[in-house]
Every structure is written in C-alpha cells, then in structure tokens.
Chains A and B, each alone.
Chain A
C-alpha cells in the first residue's frame, strides 16, 4: 500500500536559517503530493501541493519539488522565522483516488528560536 516517510523531529533552528524537511513516499503510478502545516492548537492547513513529476509547489516562502526518480517531496525554506514554528505533515493522494483519504507521514515538529 501507499506510505509516506518523513524525518523525525524536532528540528531546531535559529531564525533566518535554511530549512529542509525530508519526505519520501511509496505509491504506484503518479500520486499527488501535499505539505500541510499545523500551528499549535489548530487543525491542518494546506501549505503547498504538486500533482505531477517535476512540479514545484510554493507558498509563503516554502517550496517542494515532486521528484519521481527519487520518490521524494522535500520541503525547503531559505530563511525561517519564529512564526514558522509548527508541525509539518507530508501527504499523498493515490492516482485515481479522488474520493478517498490522503496518506500522511507522522509529522515533523519545527522549532525556530530568535
């Protein structure tokens, strides 16, 4: 079955540092890939998505590129802020599975200090 593996946290960075959170997946065909962010006490919000190979999703300074050859969708940001402290989830939707759920990774906590 489909699966998503993301790096364990917490990831601890100083403000303005470069961020990478690794995400790899297992799925047949061409899934769609998503990153979600969860701020403390809130639900998950869609951060960005990519629906085909080599697509780059971007939002709020975050980027991720859909790499079919390495089955990866790593999240990056050039300069993190304290306000980026949150839990980040990588997820996939199997090809032709438009009515079913997404498969989520376990989440990576990011802590940014001033």
Chain B
C-alpha cells in the first residue's frame, strides 16, 4: 500500500513564525501536492510538484512556498504565519500515467493553528 506520511498531526504556531510542514511518500511517485481544507470551502490546491526541484502554483499560493529536493519529500513553508492560515493541510502523491486514471493518495493531514 502507498504510504504518505505527514510529520505532524497537530501544530500550534505564533503569528510571524516560519512554519515547515513535511510530507514523505514511499512509492516513488513523481507528483506531489499540498492542499488546505476549510469548512464550506472544500479542498483548495496550494502548490504541486511533478518532479524534483519543480513546482507549480495551485489556486491559492499566496503566503506559501514549497521545496522538493528529493523525490520522496515535499515540504510546505509558511514564510510568516498568519491567523488566516489556520487550517487542515493535506499532502498527496500520485504516479504519472498517460491516461490520468491514477488516484491521489493522501496523508492523514496536519491541523495547524496560528495564534
């Protein structure tokens, strides 16, 4: 089974702190994704990466950056945390296939609270 592991289940940070959310997958997937999930807004894509050192902006990249130095690891960085970044963050991975029929595999999420 594919395993996507997010380093923290719960995180509490102060406004202005630099925050790192880490995600590791063990199935050699090319593509990795970061989402945030908020009540009433569903899942929103922040950034994704289709290869090492490659990144693409999603729908809501403002206030975030990412890093992918190794294929298995994809980090989300909040340069200066703000209270409106309090949310559930979900990491996912997916292999590249020609027909788009492979599913996303999700981690268990990190619930971040910024005070």
Residues of chain A at the chain B interface (Cβ within 8 Å) = 31-32, 34, 36, 41-46, 49, 51, 89, 91, 93-102, 104-107
Contact = CB atoms under 8 A, between A and B. Distances in A.
Interface in B22-70: 30-31, 33, 40-43, 45, 48, 50, 58
Given A43-B106, A44-B104, A89-B42, 8 more contacts: A43-B90, A46-B103, A91-B104, A94-B100, A98-B100, A104-B43, A107-B42, A107-B43
A49 B102 CA distance: 9
Contact of B103 (A31, A34, A96): A34
B7 to A, nearest CB: 14
A43 B99 contact: no
Q: What is the interface of chain B mostly: helix, strand, loop, or mixed?
A: loop
A40 B98 CA distance: 34
A5 to B, nearest CB: 11
Contact of B104 (A51, A97, A102, A105): A102
Interface of B: 4, 30-31, 33, 40-43, 45, 48, 50, 58, 90, 92, 94-109
B109 A43 contact: yes
A82 B108 CA distance: 22
B100 A45 contact: no
13 contacts: A42-B109, A43-B4, A44-B90, A89-B43, A91-B104, A93-B102, A97-B100, A99-B30, A99-B96, A100-B50, A101-B58, A101-B104, A107-B43
B43 A99 contact: no
Contacts of B103: 34, 46, 49, 102
Contact of B99 (A32, A34, A105, A106): A32
B99 A51 contact: yes
A43 B31 contact: no
Contact of A42 (B45, B98, B108): B108
Nearest to B44: A104
B33 A32 contact: no
